[in-house]
Structure 1
Amino acid sequence: MNSNLKVSEHKIVVPENPVSKFLFNDTRSAIIWLVIRLYLGYTWLMAGWHKVTSPAWTGENAGAAVSGFINGALAKATEGKDVTGWYAAFLENVALPNAKLFSFLVAYGEVLVGLGLIVGLFTGIAAFFGSFMNVAFLFAGTLSSNPLLFILATWLVLAWKTAGWYGLDRWALPLLGTPWKRE
């Protein structure tokens, strides 16, 4: 048996890799996550703000932009490009008939993700919902910056314990029973 493994009451404990321990459990890495968090937060906030202030997203023509986006994705699916059949079915049968609702969800969701990441409040949850939206855009055949944003958001989800250290999570998470302790 590997000498690094510890056996304790019928379970094997594998020691954590020092790099991942530093990145995901050590508050000294929080400055790295702060930079990533602020970049992602700003990107989401600006994208959402553009939508929230646009009549095609949340104004008198709410749903128009989402309908156009969905129809573009459905055209790609018809051509057999970039959009899988099951996602096209979801877009056609769920999202398109509810385009106005999805319009508000996307616009305000982007703003909330951006604000959560910028102020560092519920960082892991905000990053999760940001990555969820990135995946939805990717499934719809939209490449642009979505792969990069998805990767960075996924890293923030993994780093939830330290990513909000320079933010409101430093105070909010211990109140919710997720304390940090000194070693």
Structure 2
Amino acid sequence: MKNTNDLGTQIPEPSITRFLFADTRLAPLWALLRIWLGYEWLHAGWGKITNPAGVWVGDKAGAAITGFLNGALTKTQGDHPDVQGWYASFIQTVALPNAELFSYMVAYGEVLVGIALILGIFTGIAAFFGGVMNANFLFAGTVSANPLMLVVAFVIVLGWRVAGQWGLDRIALPMVGVPGAPGKLFKTSSAAQKPSAPTA
């Protein structure tokens, strides 16, 4: 007989985390956080795309990010540098040689993350990629609003199940599914491919 006290491979989720990260009654709070963060990203990205100097996207694409990255390299000195040596190596060997590509990725990435968060579509994924950008700005020695945005992105990733409830995730997630539970689109296709049982 199986021991019911044996936790096996799963640890029960505490009720407080279920309430904070999975209870749809908190959907209004998650919507406010999500929309604020989305606005911040959309505003930052749109400013880069529409910059009349064309230093992010356009004729001089890569100029702004090259200046930013070179500025980060100046922060690698001293006993407690703002930019660590491993990140400086990444800047020198990967980011600077591909400055134009990174410039487009940053500008359009910020816009796409902002739109996804505002609309509440694939909210957890959008917040994750926004957090990755925040982390890179911090690694490059830029503080600004990045710590706050990173914290908000982190909690939205934790609350992905309900963060887009007041958004398009309410429609999208049941359609595409979530880890361990395929959505309607994939259930239909997998049922069609499933071989029929042999008849006697």
TM-score for both structures, normalised by structure 2 = 0.82
Identity in percent: 56
CA offset at residue 16 of structure 1?
Answer: 2.4
1:43 aligns with 2:40: yes
Mapped partners of 2:142, 2:21: distance in 1: 30
Displaced runs of 4+ in structure 1, greater than 3 A?
12-15
Mapped partners of 2:19, 2:157: distance in 1: 15
Mapped partners of 2:23, 2:50: distance in 1: 39
Query: 1:73 is matched with which residue?
Result: 72
CA offset at residue 12 of structure 1?
Answer: 6.8
Q: Which amino acid aligns with 2:159?
A: A
Q: Could you list the per-position Cα deviations for residues 23-63 of structure 1 after superposition, in whole angstroms to 9, with x for gaps in the alignment?
A: 11111111111000010000000000001112110011100
For the structure 1 residues 67 and 17, does the alpha-carbon distance in structure 2 shift closer, same or farther, using more than 3 Å as the test?
same
Query: 2:188 is matched with which residue?
Result: none
1:20 aligns with 2:17: yes
Mapped partners of 1:78, 1:93: distance in 2: 18
Checking the alignment, whether the CA contact within 8 Å between 1:7 and 1:13 is kept in structure 2 is no
Q: Which amino acid aligns with 1:7?
A: N
Q: Could you list the per-position Cα deviations for residues 117-147 of structure 1 after superposition, in whole angstroms to 9, with x for gaps in the alignment?
A: 0000000000000000000000000011100
Mapped partners of 2:92, 2:132: distance in 1: 19
Q: Which amino acid aligns with 1:147?
A: P
Higher Cα Rg: structure 1 or 2? 2
For the structure 1 residues 78 and 15, does the alpha-carbon distance in structure 2 shift closer, same or farther, using more than 3 Å as the test?
same
Mapped partners of 1:51, 1:161: distance in 2: 31
1:56 aligns with 2:55: yes
Mapped partners of 1:13, 1:138: distance in 2: 35
Mapped partners of 1:32, 1:93: distance in 2: 42
The gaps in structure 2 that reach 5 residues or longer are 182-200
Query: 1:7 is matched with which residue?
Result: 5
Aligned-pair Cα RMSD in Å: 1.5
Number of matched pairs: 173
Q: Could you list the per-position Cα deviations for residues 88-136 of structure 1 after superposition, in whole angstroms to 9, with x for gaps in the alignment?
A: 0000111001100000000000000000000000000000000000000
* Secondary structure, aligned partner of 2:58: coil
Query: 2:175 is matched with which residue?
Result: 175
1:152 aligns with 2:152: yes
Query: 1:3 is matched with which residue?
Result: none
Mapped partners of 1:44, 1:139: distance in 2: 18
Mapped partners of 2:176, 2:11: distance in 1: 28
Mapped partners of 2:174, 2:42: distance in 1: 26
Mapped partners of 1:94, 1:159: distance in 2: 33
